[in-house]
Structure 1
């Protein structure tokens, strides 16, 4: 797994209905190894996203800014490992910087803020925005240095309000550089699944905070609504 951590990488995302998942996994079985931890092939994750009061991170993504950030705390529920993570999208690449912390912080600590400002130099005050939970299957191909994450059972919540994406799978292919001859690309194309630009944070925030502009995400929301039996 260390060979395919890919903290500096390209990401290609795909979304499809969970009814397709079994077929896709069977097709992948001779190309990728499934990550197994303590005899489990599905791991649970919980994430807390932060943004400025005016949702700068969300708006930068919505407006297509070339150099943009996401700040989150992510917990690996089964192992109880917790990380403060900063994702920087720049020139088509994703650079992830992270540090281990003890647990979630509803209000970022001094040490956490110091770490964040070492990466985002003109940082405005941050506040918690949304919680996100999902289950993940991870596939790896060490020879190609590829990692494929398959997220399902996604939900978003804040202050007692919750939205669930039933039947939606978000698949993300992580590579050193985009390789469209990758087995994953070929298999997904054979299933008529095309790359899709999507952000879990932006989908969740756009769904829970109705005041946010979402013109450029409208097609994504419609696509997700078609894939799911319920978005409530």
Structure 2
């Protein structure tokens, strides 16, 4: 599918978005939505939302490289799931060349904290000594124990185009990820007929959540990292994501198996 059409939306700058809705500690709800439903959702949001615009652009190309131990510690903490778990990745903004090392930790109350460190774009596919030390310190602070950061290596790359909306009424954000691709070793899945809509709020359901509920959509158990690895590495336990894989991604997965 092509990127969402948001040209009729009022815009918001990155600086204002960061000031009004940074939401580094937040509750996320994710939905896998058929591309055909996206136009209906955007039509409903046009009068309520503002779209992030930077240098005249409203859609931005992202690449994330996820890191894990040889024992798949990060993946297994999510697969089985543990109250305290983590993800570590580099996130690259391909339009600008900016790159960060990001560490996301989930606490006992279900909230997610994300912290990040500026990182070299040219080193985005590996962990530097500084990067490993940064991850180690944050995991200790979050009481995520027993992780050998020295053994962590890249295990999955995701690429997608992101559109970000700000909802002034609730102070929440919504991201729409289209043209999503998962890549692991020589295998790749391209998801052309679905988008991932993620709402990010301080806790209460946002306007986007309520609209999606009225359209018949409910939050899905999906993580770009864990669902992507479950799709491309069948030897890993995948029960936690079997339903979402069967419901939304089987045609794309069948093409990989073929």
Partner of 2:210: 186
**Can you list the C-alpha shifts for 1:18-58, whole angstroms capped at 9, x where unaligned?**
11111111111111101111212111100100011011111
Correspondent of 1:99 among 111, 117, 129: 117
Going from structure 1 to structure 2, the CA distance change for 1:230 and 1:184 (only over 3 Å counts) comes to farther
Distance in 1 separating the partners of 2:193 and 2:115: 31
1:154 corresponds to 2:180: yes
1:59 corresponds to 2:76: yes
1:22 corresponds to 2:25: no
Q: Say which structure, 1 or 2, has more relative contact order (CA 8 Å, 6+ apart).
A: 1
C-alpha deviation, 1:9, in angstroms: 0.7
Partner of 2:236: 212
Unaligned runs of 5+ in 2: 1-16
Partner of 1:135: 161
Task: Name the TM-score, length of structure 1 as normaliser.
Answer: 0.93
Q: Which has the higher strand share?
A: 1
Q: CA RMSD in A?
A: 1.7
Count of residues paired in the alignment: 230
Distance in 2 separating the partners of 1:157 and 1:184: 29
Going from structure 1 to structure 2, the CA distance change for 1:231 and 1:42 (only over 3 Å counts) comes to farther
Going from structure 1 to structure 2, the CA distance change for 1:118 and 1:21 (only over 3 Å counts) comes to same
Task: Name the TM-score, length of structure 2 as normaliser.
Answer: 0.84
Query: 2:99 touches 2:124 (CA, 8 Å); kept in 1?
Result: no
Going from structure 1 to structure 2, the CA distance change for 1:67 and 1:229 (only over 3 Å counts) comes to closer
Query: 1:137 touches 1:149 (CA, 8 Å); kept in 2?
Result: yes
Query: 2:189 touches 2:252 (CA, 8 Å); kept in 1?
Result: no
